[in-house]
Structure 1
Amino acid sequence: MTTRPFTVADVMTTKVVAVLPGADFKEIVAAMDRWKVTAVPVVESGGRVVGVVSEADLLLKEEFHDHRLGLVEQMRHLDATAKAGSRRAGDLMTSPAVTVAPEASLPRAARLMAAHRVKRLPVVDASGAIRGIVSRADLLKVFLRPDDDLAAEVRRDVVEHLFPLSDRNVEVRVDAGVVTLSGEVRDTALIPFAARLARAVEGVVDVRCDLTARGRPQPGPPR
């Protein structure tokens, strides 16, 4: 295999909207509105990420605006009520922030988002300094790869790799991200691996494997 797997660095947005811990409530809301984002990283001097303020954090102020809680309820919602009474990013933020490294794989980033129920992750280097933002939409960018690119990669890194003696007998077609492998190969034991490796190519939506053993008669039309 020669193709390097896609990493977070390949799809992340490098233009980052961030705020300092001392940013006030309205400043945060204005930044989100201006840049059409649902969360902003909170960074210290030097760009080190210390937390994230999301729309959910800010909406707590509206949720508890006209609602007086009893002592028991306050204890149950201690963190939420504290944020509802706060004005600065350093008090409103969720900390520590869930972050990801630039060299992390796209499945790794997707798993982090799912596990922590977040829509975007700050991308940080080894020192914790911010280098970008990766969102759910960014992770889907690989599915925009042209069909011709996918076909070329499947042929080079799957077909030629597994079937060097019969690769010319294999046809690779890609339509809307769906790969079809057809033709005859010598080593039928490798056919399941071909389908699996083709499906692992970044941007492939699905794989149809119609490979058969070389010299095996093809089924005729139904009677």
Structure 2
Amino acid sequence: MTGSPHVVSDVMTRTVLALRHGAAFKDIVQAMQQWHVSAAPVLDDDGHVVGVVSEADLLRKEQARGVGPGPLPAPGRGKATAVTAEELMTVPAVTVHPGAALPEAARTMARHGVKRLPVVDADGLLQGVVSRADLLKVFLRDDEDIAEEIRHEIVPHLFPDVAEPVRVRVRDGVVTLTGRVPDTTLVPVAVGWVRGVDGVVAVDCALAGPPRRPDLDPDLPEVRHAPPA
């Protein structure tokens, strides 16, 4: 099997902007600009994440300025008149745990259409924030480091007895596998495992089965047994 994959706690940002539920609108805008973030988790008095305020939440007030006299439309009424983080925040907060695998965090972001996820422990306490940029850090992994993991963790496990070594080459995150293996049914398994190694961009597999043995004495006539008398 491959080595332990990177998890959220390996790439998350630990020093993050967090808002108290009573934070005022202008203070939130100023803090988000100073920290250069597009969203921030909102904490209760015990440090639990109870929601998230994003730029989209804040812009509801700006959008309402273009509405003429009369009551605001129902969908934007609440946040257009909000003045605190508690009134502005989106609930429930979409979060992820520190031990979650990076693909899981990426799928959660895609499913909910968010760019950042608060990272919380089992008690819901804030541990950090993971962003799309954090998830991409894994692709900065050194090519030789990737190759060494494949050579030591995958190849010996799947192909322990090979006449010639399986060759592993990595360039810009693209893995090339060459050589002959005794069981070609394991080749798709190898490709799947290699694709799951942190930092791998793509896999180019050229693994082949064992060479065919030549027929022995091919010029000898076929031996036919005479039928019993």
Calculate the TM-score normalised by the size of structure 2: 0.88
State the Cα distance separating 1:69 from its structure 2 match.
6.6
One of 117, 121, 127 as aligned partner of 1:125:
121
Instruction: Tell me the distance in 1 between the aligned counterparts of 2:184 and 2:20.
Output: 60
Instruction: Tell me the distance in 2 between the aligned counterparts of 1:69 and 1:188.
Output: 73
Kindly report structure 1 stretches of 4+ aligned residues shifted beyond 6 Å: none
Please name the residue that 1:55 is paired with: 55
Whether 1:196 and 2:192 are equivalent positions in the alignment is yes
**Change in 2 beyond 3 A, CA 1:139/1:196:** same
Query: What SS class does the counterpart of residue 6 from structure 1 fall into?
Result: coil
Query: What SS class does the counterpart of residue 111 from structure 1 fall into?
Result: helix
State the Cα distance separating 1:214 from its structure 2 match.
2.5
Task: Specify the code of the residue in structure 2 equivalent to 1:155.
Answer: R
Q: Which has the larger radius of gyration?
A: 2
Instruction: Tell me the distance in 2 between the aligned counterparts of 1:48 and 1:85.
Output: 25
Instruction: Tell me the distance in 2 between the aligned counterparts of 1:140 and 1:69.
Output: 47
State the Cα distance separating 1:167 from its structure 2 match.
7.8
Please name the residue that 1:221 is paired with: none
State the Cα distance separating 1:215 from its structure 2 match.
2.4
Cα deviation, 1:183-223, whole Å, max 9, x if unaligned, reads 11122221121111111112100001111122259xxxxxx
Which structure is higher in helix share?
1
Cα deviation, 1:34-85, whole Å, max 9, x if unaligned, reads 01000011111231101100000001111011313755x623x2xx221111
Query: What SS class does the counterpart of residue 131 from structure 1 fall into?
Result: strand
State the Cα distance separating 1:101 from its structure 2 match.
0.7
RMSD (CA atoms)? 1.6
Whether 1:162 and 2:161 are equivalent positions in the alignment is no
Instruction: Tell me the distance in 1 between the aligned counterparts of 2:194 and 2:107.
Output: 22
**Change in 2 beyond 3 A, CA 1:45/1:169:** same
More deviation, 149-158/170-179: 149-158
Instruction: Tell me the distance in 1 between the aligned counterparts of 2:138 and 2:29.
Output: 31
More deviation, 167-176/94-103: 167-176
- Where does the alignment leave 5 or more consecutive residues of structure 2 unmatched? 214-229
Query: What SS class does the counterpart of residue 172 from structure 1 fall into?
Result: strand
Instruction: Tell me the distance in 1 between the aligned counterparts of 2:23 and 2:154.
Output: 52
Instruction: Tell me the distance in 1 between the aligned counterparts of 2:151 and 2:100.
Output: 26
Please name the residue that 2:15 is paired with: 15
Task: Specify the code of the residue in structure 1 equivalent to 2:125.
Answer: A
Contact 1:39 1:55 (8 Å CA) reproduced: yes
Whether 1:172 and 2:171 are equivalent positions in the alignment is no
Task: Specify the code of the residue in structure 2 equivalent to 1:100.
Answer: V
Task: Specify the code of the residue in structure 2 equivalent to 1:134.
Answer: V
Calculate the TM-score normalised by the size of structure 1: 0.91
Please name the residue that 1:115 is paired with: 111
Number of corresponding residues: 213
Q: Percent identity?
A: 55
